[in-house]
Structure 1
Amino acid sequence: MDAILDDFTRNWPIYCSIPIVAALIGYVTKLLAIRMMFAPLEFAGIKPFLGWQGIVPKRAARMAGIACDTMTRQLIRPSDVVNRLDPERIAREIEKPLLAAAEEIVRDIAAEYQPGLWESLPDRVQRMVISRVQAEAPKMVAEVMATIKRDVDSVFDLKDMVVTSLVKDKALLNRIFQEAGRKEFRFIAHSGIYFGGLIGVVQMVVWVLFKVPIIMPLFGLFIGWFTDWLALKMIFHPKQPVRYFGLFEWQGLFLKRRAEVSEAYAELIAKEIITPHNVIEAVLRGPLSDKVLALIQRQVDLELSRHASVAKPLVVLAVGGKRYQTMKLRISEQIMARLPETMRYIEDYAEDAMDIRNLLVHKMKELDAEEFEGLLRPAFQQDEWILILTGALLGGLVGELQVQAVLLLTP
C-alpha cells in the first residue's frame, strides 16, 4: 500500500488527468453522436460504404412518414385544416383578382373557339358577357370550396403534403427533431462530462492499483457506450416522475417539458409545413388535384346550363358538340391554372382562420406519454445502435492513446 501511495504522490497530476480525459471522452462522443444524427444532409465520402450521411436525412422518407403519422393520426386531420375556412369569405377575399382572371378567361376562350364572332361583337356586348361571367365567378368558387369542405378527404391528402415537404427539405426535417429535442440534445452532451468523469475516477483508482494496460481502452469503450445508453434512457424514462433512494425525483426530460415542446413544435409546423400556401398548393396541384378539376368542371357545366339554356343549342351548333365539351374543359383548366395565384390573397385570412398553432398545442396536451414520446423518439430509434457503437469505439481508441501517454509519462 505504501508503494501505491508513493507512486500516486509522485505522479498525481498524470493520474488526476484520467477522470478529466474520461469526461472529455464522454462529452466529445456525445457531440459527435448528435452531429451524426443530422449531418451531413447528403452523403459525404465514397459510396456505398466509405462515408456518412446524417441518420435523419438518410432516412428522410421514413422519418417524415413517422413524423407525419404522429401528426395526422393523433394531432390534426384534413378536416381540421379546411373546415375552418368560410367559402363566402374566401369568395369576398379573392373577388378583385378573380374578376380580372375571369375577364382574361372569357377573352381567351372566346378568341380561341369563335375568333371571328367574338371580335365582331360590339364592345358593349363583349363587356356584358364578361360582366355576367364575373358576377358568377365568386359564387362558383364559393360553391367549389363548399363542395371540397363536404368531402375534404377526397381532394386533400394532408399526409402526402407533409411528407413531400419534409423529404424535399431535409434541413426542415432536421429542424423538427432538433426543435422538439433541443434541450435533450444539450443534456446528452453535458451528461457525457458528468458520467464520463465519475467513471473516470473509478478508472483512475483501478489503474493506480493494478496498472494493467488493457484497463484504459476497456474503460474508454465502456464510457463511450454507457454514457450514450444512459443519456438516451434518461431522456425518455421514466414516463412518470419517480423518486429514487428518497433523495431525488426524476422523469424523462422530454416528457417533463412537454408543454414547452408543444409550443415550439406547433409553432414550427404552423409556420413551415401546414401553411395556407402549402395547403392551397396541395389541393390545387397535389395528387388529388384531378378531383378538384372535376369539381370545377361540374360547376362550369352547371353555370353554363343555368345561364345559357336558350343559347346553348346555338353555341353547340356554332362550335360543334365535341368542341363544346373541349371548351368547357379549357374553361375549367384556365380557372384551375389561375386559382393558385388568385388564392394567394386569402393566405392572411386562412392563417388566422385555420389557427394551426393553437390547434396543435391543444391536441398535443391530449396525447398520452407514449404518443408524445413518438414526436422525438424516432430520431433516436433509427440506427441508434450505430451512434452508441461509434461512441464506444471512439472511447476505446482514446483510452488506448491515454494508456500510451500515461506509460510514457510515468517512470
Structure 2
Amino acid sequence: MPFEPTIVIIPLVSALVGWATNVLAVKMMFWPVDFLGIPPWLGWQGIIPANAARMGKYAARTISSKLLRLRELFDGFDAGAFVREQLAGPVERIGERVLAELSAHADALGPTQTAALTPLVRAELERVATRILTEVGEAIEEIVDIEAIVADAGERDRALIGELFLRIGRPEFRFIKRSGAYFGLLFGILPMVIWELSPSWWLLPVAGFLVGYATNWLALKLIFEPVNPLRLGPVVIQGLFHKRQRQVAEAFARLVADEVLHIDNMVRGMTSGAAGERLFGIIDGAIAELIARYRQNPLTQGLLTAAQWDELETRLPTMVRAELAAPGGLMYTFTQHTIDVYGELHGRMIDLDAASFEGILRPVFQQDEWKLIVVGAVLGLGAGVIQTLLLL
C-alpha cells in the first residue's frame, strides 16, 4: 500500500485537539460567571463561580487554621501600650465629643471646669479603650471571623474567588493549554502509523477520544505530581505547583491582603453580624462602666441630672461606634497595626508541608474535574470522526 502524505495531518489534528480541549477546560473553570442557558441542566456556569461559596469557605478555613492564626498573633498583646502609642488621635476625638456633650447639658461647665476635666476624660477614655482592646484580643477569633469576611467579599464580588485562583495559578493554567498541543502531537503519532498500515473507520474517532481525555487528565496530573522532586537520570521532575511554592506564597499573600482581607473588609466584618454584636457588647459594657465612674466622681457627678446621665449613657455608645468604624478610627488603627495579613500569610505559606500547600489550589481542579476531561474526550471524538470522513 503506497504511503499517503495526507495522513501526516493526523498528529497535527491531534495536537490541535489537545490544545483546544485544554484551552476550553481552563475557560470552563472560570467562565461564564453566571449560568448561561436554561437552568438547571441545559447550560453551563464556570466551575469556580458555581462553587465560589464552597471554595471561599475552604480557602478561608485554610487561611485561619494554617496561615493566619489570630490566637497566636495576639498572645502577649499589650492593649495599654497600644492605646498610648497608636490611639492618641481617636481617643482625643472621642474625648472632645464627650466634653461637648457634657457642656451642652451642664450650665456650670465653663472654660476652667472644661480644662480641669479634659485630662480626667482622656485618662478615663484610655482606660476604656484599653479594656475594649484587651477583651477584643481575648475574643479575637470571634470578632475577626476570617470565614465570614471571605464569604462576604465573595458575595459582593462574585468573580473575586475565580480571579484569585486564576492569578495564583496563571503559570499552571498556561501549562495546561500548551501541554495539550505537545501531548496531542505525541499521542497522534501511533494512530497515524496504524492508519497507514490498516485504515479503519473507528480508529481516528477512538484515538481522538483518547487524546482528548488523556491530554486533559495528564496536564492536570502533572501540575501536582510528583509532590517531591523525582530524578530520572539527568532530568528532575516535580509538580509545577510544588516547584513554585515560594512564588505562589508571595502571590497568594499579596492577593489575599490586597483584594480580600484588606482593612476595609476586615473592619466591615468586625463591626457587622455576629462579630459586630460581640464587639459592640464589649464596647457597651465598657461605656456603662465609664458612665458609672463619672456619676461617682466628685468632679463630674453634679454636672448632670440623673436623667441627663441616662441620656448620655445611651448616646455615648453611638458616638463611639461611629468613631470605631471610621477611617483612621479605633478599629482601623487597631487592625492596621496588629494584623499583618501579607506578612503572616507569606511567611507561613512558604513553610507549609506539601499536602497543605497543594490543598490551596487543588480544589479548583478537583471540583467537577471529570466534566472537563469528558468534554475533552467528546471533542476529540468529534475531531476524529471529521478526520475519518476526510481521509476515507
- TM bracket, shorter-chain basis: 0.7 to 0.9
Question: How far has the Cα of 1:390 moved from its partner?
Answer: 0.7
Q: For residues 234-268 of structure 1, what are the alpha-carbon distances to aligned partners after superposition, in whole Å with 9 as ceiling and x for unaligned? A: 11112112234x45331111112211111111111
Q: Which moved more, 1:274-283 or 1:191-200?
A: 274-283
Quick check: 1:277–1:344 contact (8 Å CA) kept in 2? no
State the TM-score, normalized to the length of structure 2: 0.88
Equivalences for residues 12-411 of structure 1 within 5 A: 12=5, 14-80=6-72, 87=79, 88-90=81-83, 92-104=85-97, 107=100, 117-118=105-106, 120=107, 124=111, 127=114, 131=118, 132-134=120-122, 136-244=124-232, 246=233, 248-309=235-296, 318-319=306-307, 324=310, 327-344=312-329, 351=336, 353-407=338-392
Question: How far has the Cα of 1:77 moved from its partner?
Answer: 1.8
Question: How far has the Cα of 1:345 moved from its partner?
Answer: 7.9
Question: How far has the Cα of 1:60 moved from its partner?
Answer: 0.9
Structure 1 runs not aligned, ≥5 long: 112-116
Distance 1:128 1:44 in 2: 68
Q: For residues 183-208 of structure 1, what are the alpha-carbon distances to aligned partners after superposition, in whole Å with 9 as ceiling and x for unaligned? A: 11111111101110011111211222
Give the total of aligned pairs.
389
2:174 alignment partner, SS class: helix
1:41 alignment partner, SS class: coil
Quick check: 2:145–2:269 contact (8 Å CA) kept in 1? yes
State the TM-score, normalized to the length of structure 1: 0.84
Q: Which moved more, 1:278-287 or 1:97-106?
A: 97-106
Question: How far has the Cα of 1:281 moved from its partner?
Answer: 2.3
Identity %: 33
Question: How far has the Cα of 1:383 moved from its partner?
Answer: 0.5
Distance 2:329 2:303 in 1: 34
Q: For residues 103-128 of structure 1, what are the alpha-carbon distances to aligned partners after superposition, in whole Å with 9 as ceiling and x for unaligned? A: 446656886xxxxx55x556537845
Quick check: 1:79–1:152 contact (8 Å CA) kept in 2? yes
Question: How far has the Cα of 1:25 moved from its partner?
Answer: 0.4
Structure 2 runs not aligned, ≥5 long: none
Change (3 A) 1:315 1:189: same
Q: Which moved more, 1:152-161 or 1:100-109?
A: 100-109
Quick check: 1:40–1:53 contact (8 Å CA) kept in 2? yes
Question: How far has the Cα of 1:62 moved from its partner?
Answer: 0.6
Quick check: 1:30–1:391 contact (8 Å CA) kept in 2? yes
Quick check: 1:84–1:353 contact (8 Å CA) kept in 2? no
Q: For residues 291-344 of structure 1, what are the alpha-carbon distances to aligned partners after superposition, in whole Å with 9 as ceiling and x for unaligned? A: 211211221122222232057886896418xx82x6424321331132111545
Quick check: 2:294–2:301 contact (8 Å CA) kept in 1? no
Distance 2:367 2:12 in 1: 31
Q: Which moved more, 1:75-84 or 1:136-145?
A: 75-84
Quick check: 1:94–1:346 contact (8 Å CA) kept in 2? no
State the AA in 1 paired with 2:185: G
Distance 1:171 1:85 in 2: 36
Q: Please, what is the CA RMSD of the aligned residues?
A: 2.9
Question: How far has the Cα of 1:71 moved from its partner?
Answer: 1.3
Quick check: 1:43–1:52 contact (8 Å CA) kept in 2? yes
Change (3 A) 1:342 1:224: closer
